[in-house]
Amino acid sequence: MELSTMKITKVDYAATGAFSQTISDYLSRSEPLQAFYNRFPTAEAFEAQIKEKDFSEAQRQTLYQALQEQYTSVADINPKVQQNIDLLQQPNTYTITTGHQLNIFTGPLYFVYKIITAINTCKQLQEKYPDYNFVPVYWMATEDHDFAEINHFNLFGKNYVWETEQTGAVGRFSTEGLDKLMEELPEPYPVFEEAYRKSKNLADATRAITHDLFGEYGLVSIDGDHEGLKQALTPVVEKELTEQSSNKLVEEVNAQLEELNYKQQVYSRDINLFYLKDGLRERIVLEDEKYKVLNTDISFSQEEVLQEAKEHPERFSPNVILRPLYEELVLPNLAYIGGGAEVAYWFQLKRLFEAYKVAFPVLMLRNSALYITRGNASRMHKLGLQPEDMFMSFPELKKHLSDQLHEEEINLEAQRDTVAAAFAAVEELAKDIDPTLVKAVGAEAQKAYNALQMLEKKISKARDSKHEQTFKQLENLKDKLFPNGTLQERHDNLLTYKTNNPEFIPALVDAFDPFEFKFTILEEE
Q: Alpha-carbon distance 255 to 52, whole Å?
A: 28
Q: Alpha-carbon distance 305 to 309, whole Å?
A: 6
pLDDT at 1: 39
**What are the residue ranges in the chain where pLDDT is below 70?**
1-4, 406-409, 463-466
Listed in order, the ranges of the chain carrying CATH 3.40.50 are 6-230+320-372
Q: Alpha-carbon distance 337 to 515, whole Å?
A: 11
pLDDT at 399: 86
Q: Which CATH number fits domain 6-230+320-372: 2.120.10, 1.10.3470, 3.40.50, 3.30.420?
A: 3.40.50
Give residue-wise pLDDT tens across range 254-287: 999 999 999 888 999 999 999 999 999 999 999 9
Q: What is the DSSP string of 86-101?
A: HHTTSTTEEEEEEEE-
Closest CA to 204 of 176, 177, 230, 171: 171
Closest CA to 78 of 213, 205, 224: 213
Residue 175: other Cβ atoms inside 10 A: 20
Relative to beta strand 280-287, strand 290-293 is antiparallel
pLDDT at 479: 95
Give residue-wise pLDDT tens across range 135-149: 999 999 999 999 999
Q: pTM of the full predicted structure?
A: 0.87
Pairs from 64-70 (Cβ < 8 Å, separation ≥ 24) = 64/88, 64/89, 65/228, 66/222, 66/226, 66/228, 66/229, 66/330, 67/220, 67/222, 69/226, 69/228, 70/207, 70/221, 70/222, 70/223, 70/226
Residue 521: other Cβ atoms inside 10 A: 23
Q: Alpha-carbon distance 18 to 11, whole Å?
A: 12
